[in-house]
Structure 1
Amino acid sequence: MPLITWSDKYSVNIKEIDEQHKKLVGMINELHDAMMHAKSKEVSVEIIDKMAEYTKYHFSTEEKYMKQFRYPDYEVHKISHEKFVEQVLEFKKGYESGKTGLTYDLLNFLKNWLVTHIQASDKKYAPFFVEHGLN
């Protein structure tokens, strides 16, 4: 059973970005599945690595359009992206060194951050992007 089920309430109505969000949801669900089935630490680290890299790619997509369209809240949005990447990398370091484990706290953090970020921050830029011809 997935931790997050994609629904239209998460859509920003921009195909490229919605597809990227769906992929991130899938990765969180994959990590959840690995945890539920007690898969090896290596599998979990691989998923976390993949998620960290894809998240950077996704954030660069959003930020590219923000710069291109001169989105007024670009700096604030970019800072939230940077903080998220830092938190994921810190968790990864702790997990690899054995200082922290894969817990529901982490999964809930990832889930809550993504859902809140999409519904609060990303939905703010969506109409602005659409006005500039992105859909």
Structure 2
Amino acid sequence: MSLITWSDKYSVNIKEIDEQHKKLVGMINELHDAMMQAKSKEVSLAIINKMADYTKDHFSTEEKYMKQFGYPDYEAHKLSHEKFVEQVLEFKQGYENGKSGLSYDLLNFLKNWLVTHIQSSDKKYSALFNEKGLN
């Protein structure tokens, strides 16, 4: 059972970024499945590491286009990316050290952050990127 089901309502009308968002949704679902199936800490940690690395790549893609196209809210958007990465790294360290476990709180945080970020922040750059020829 998926925690998040991709829907067109999450689309930012930019194929490359939508595909990256779909991959992130898939990783959150993979982590959810690992938790539901009580898979080992190593399996969960591998998913978290993969997601942390991929998120950085995804954020780099968005930020590259924002700079290229002169997106006016670049700094605020970049800051929200940096805060998210910090939070994920803090969780990862706590999980590695045994101070925190995989929980619905974490999964809901990841889900809510991604969905809210796409629908409120990312959709704001869509029109500009589309105007500049990025679809």
TM-score by length of 1: 1.00
Consecutive unaligned residues in structure 1, runs of 5 or more? none
CA drift of 1:52 comes to: 0.2
Percent identity over the alignment is 85
Give the number of aligned pairs: 135
TM-score by length of 2: 1.00
Task: Please list, as runs of the form range in 1=range in 2, the aligned pairs for 1:41-56 lying within 5 A after superposition.
Answer: 41-56=41-56
Consecutive unaligned residues in structure 2, runs of 5 or more? none
User: What's the counterpart of residue 123 of structure 1?
Assistant: 123
CA drift of 1:17 comes to: 0.2
CA drift of 1:14 comes to: 0.4
Backbone CA RMSD of aligned residues:
0.3
Counterparts of 2:57 and 2:106 in 1: how far apart (Å)?
21
Determine whether 1:6 maps to 2:9.
Answer: no
Counterparts of 2:63 and 2:104 in 1: how far apart (Å)?
30
CA drift of 1:69 comes to: 0.4
CA drift of 1:95 comes to: 0.3
Q: Once the two structures are superposed, what CA deviation does each residue of 1:29-88 show, in whole Å capped at 9, x if it has no partner?
A: 000000000000000000000000000000000000000001000000000000000000
Task: Please list, as runs of the form range in 1=range in 2, the aligned pairs for 1:1-135 lying within 5 A after superposition.
Answer: 1-135=1-135
Q: Once the two structures are superposed, what CA deviation does each residue of 1:89-129 show, in whole Å capped at 9, x if it has no partner?
A: 00000000000000000000000000000000000001110
Counterparts of 1:132 and 1:76 in 2: how far apart (Å)?
21
SS in 1 for 2:27: helix
Q: Which runs of 4+ in 1 moved over 6 A?
A: none
Aligned residue identity for 1:120 = S
Counterparts of 1:86 and 1:10 in 2: how far apart (Å)?
24
Aligned residue identity for 2:104 = Y
